[in-house]
Amino acid sequence: MKALVQDRYGSSDVMQFADVDVPTIGDTDVLLEVRAASLHRGDWHLMTGLPSLVRLFGFGLRRPKQRTRGMDVAGIVHSVGSGVTAVQPGDPVFGVCRGSLAEFASAPAELLVPLPAGVSFEQAAAVPTSAVSALQGLRDAGRLSAGQRVLVIGAAGGVGIFAVQLAKHWGGIVTGVCSTGKLELVRALGADAVIDYTTDGLGRERYDLILNLAGNRPVSLLRRSLATSGTLVIIGGENGGRILGGFQRSLQAMLISLFVRQRLTGLAAVQRRSDLLLLAELLAAGSLVPVIHRVYPLSEAKDALRMLEAGDPRGKLVITP
Ligand SMILES: NC(=O)c1ccc[n+]([C@@H]2O[C@H](COP(=O)([O-])OP(=O)(O)OC[C@H]3O[C@@H](n4cnc5c(N)ncnc54)[C@H](OP(=O)(O)O)[C@@H]3O)[C@@H](O)[C@H]2O)c1
């Protein structure tokens, strides 16, 4: 089968479009015929091996253990392991797999859920990792409740587009922070207010919940925009260097949190079937609408990775074999 593979860590230049074997599956796995995949920032981390901390989590110290990139997927079940009863060959599903930038991918059956009626493979593939991160950032780490003022920093990115919609869905009053060209998109997603970070600061407003997805604002600056008993959730951002990356600010925030009234915390999103099922429901109801910047054929997936590297996309980049 065709796949986009890598044998060393590096920029998108290390990726090669190659012929590789169709993956083998274990007893609790599914072999999927990939119909669509999507990229997210985590694919960039695994492609580059940066920050170096990610390599300690079993991804390979010197080179990537798994050659094919891509986690988010939508496709048709081709075959199932002996212990799988929840899905059958022919079922359309979406979720998380190992190596979705390929014609076939193996996935734990647990992390695949039925494709909702009326939702395309491209739309569903855009959802899993980014939307789960937004959901867990708002609901679990952020403990969002209706009526709270929510600031989403990085509102037009892969996670941000879902965070704005979910925060509105759960009754938040949402302000989105993004660059000039993306203001309209963030408004269209339902944000009550927008801030153009290229021309304006965060302003004098105090928020009950801040979701930090981008930029390198210090924790002390973010705290100034947080209500006295507000919550700051650091999900991502650029500072912290090559070893710790965004984790540095999360650790800082958690340490400061011990001494102040505000809750300052980080997030390590975990893929859960229950969250994928909830997202499938919201997709089916039209409460969550993926924003797809562009769809690339698999043979041009390297261009999509370049686009991801540059940080330009409005929403998600989708790849179809
Ligand atoms: N902790 C976890 O479990 C977890 C899970 C998922 C993602 N993440 C992290 O979360 C972050 C966001 O992921 P993503 O997939 O949404 O990335 P993305 O698609 O690259 O989006 C980032 C967005 O931030 C905007 N941005 C850049 N600088 C900014 C600034 N100073 N202020 C406000 N916005 C700015 C970018 O566009 P414009 O500059 O044009 O507005 C872009 O739209 C990444 O760091 C990722 O590693 C962490």
Domain 129-266 = CATH 3.40.50.720? yes
Ligand 1 close to Cβ of residue 156 (< 6 A):
yes
The third-level CATH classification (topology) of the domain covering 2-127+290-320 is Quinone Oxidoreductase; Chain A, domain 1 (3.90.180)
65/124 Cα distance (integer angstroms): 27
Question: What pLDDT does 169 receive?
Answer: 98
Question: What pLDDT does 240 receive?
Answer: 60
- The one-letter code for the residue type at 194 is V
For a mutational test of ligand 1's pocket, the pick from 54, 179, 202, i.e. the residue with the most ligand atoms closer than 8 A to its C-beta, is 179
Q: pTM of the prediction?
A: 0.96
Ligand 1 close to Cβ of residue 158 (< 6 A):
yes
Ligand 1 close to Cβ of residue 159 (< 6 A):
yes
30/28 Cα distance (integer angstroms): 7
CA of 96 to the centre of ligand 1 (A): 20
CA of 71 to the centre of ligand 1 (A): 18
Q: State both tokens at 261.
A: 């009234």
Domain(s) of CATH 3.40.50.720: residues in the chain: 129-266
Ligand 1 close to Cβ of residue 126 (< 6 A):
no
**Spatial strand order in the sheet of 149-153:** 193-196, 173-178, 149-153, 207-212, 226-234, 263-266
Which distant-in-sequence residues (6+ apart) come within 8 Å of 300 by Cβ? Answer: none
Question: What pLDDT does 246 receive?
Answer: 73
Question: What pLDDT does 51 receive?
Answer: 82
Tokens 């912290």 belong to 240
Name the percent of the chain in helix, strand, coil, to the closest 5. Answer: 35, 30, 40
Which distant-in-sequence residues (6+ apart) come within 8 Å of 75 by Cβ? Answer: 32, 33, 34, 35, 36, 92, 93, 94, 105, 121
Q: Whose CA is nearest to atom 8 of ligand 1?
A: 236
Question: What pLDDT does 239 receive?
Answer: 63
Domain(s) of CATH 3.90.180.10: residues in the chain: 2-127+290-320
**DSSP for 53-92, written as a single string:** GGGGGTT-SSS-SS-B---EEEEEEEEE-TT--S--TT-E
For a mutational test of ligand 1's pocket, the pick from 38, 40, 41, i.e. the residue with the most ligand atoms closer than 8 A to its C-beta, is 41
185-223 core/surface letters (b: 16 or more CB in 10 A; e: else): bbbebbbeebbebeeeebeeeebbbbbbbbeebebeebb
From first to last of the 321 residues of the chain, give the pLDDT tens digit.
999 999 999 999 999 999 999 999 999 999 999 999 999 999 999 999 888 778 877 788 889 999 999 999 999 999 999 999 999 999 999 999 999 999 999 999 999 999 999 999 999 999 999 999 999 999 999 999 999 999 999 999 999 999 999 999 999 999 999 999 999 999 999 999 999 999 999 989 999 999 999 998 999 999 999 999 999 999 987 766 777 777 788 888 999 999 999 999 999 999 999 999 999 999 999 999 999 999 999 999 999 999 998 888 899 999 999
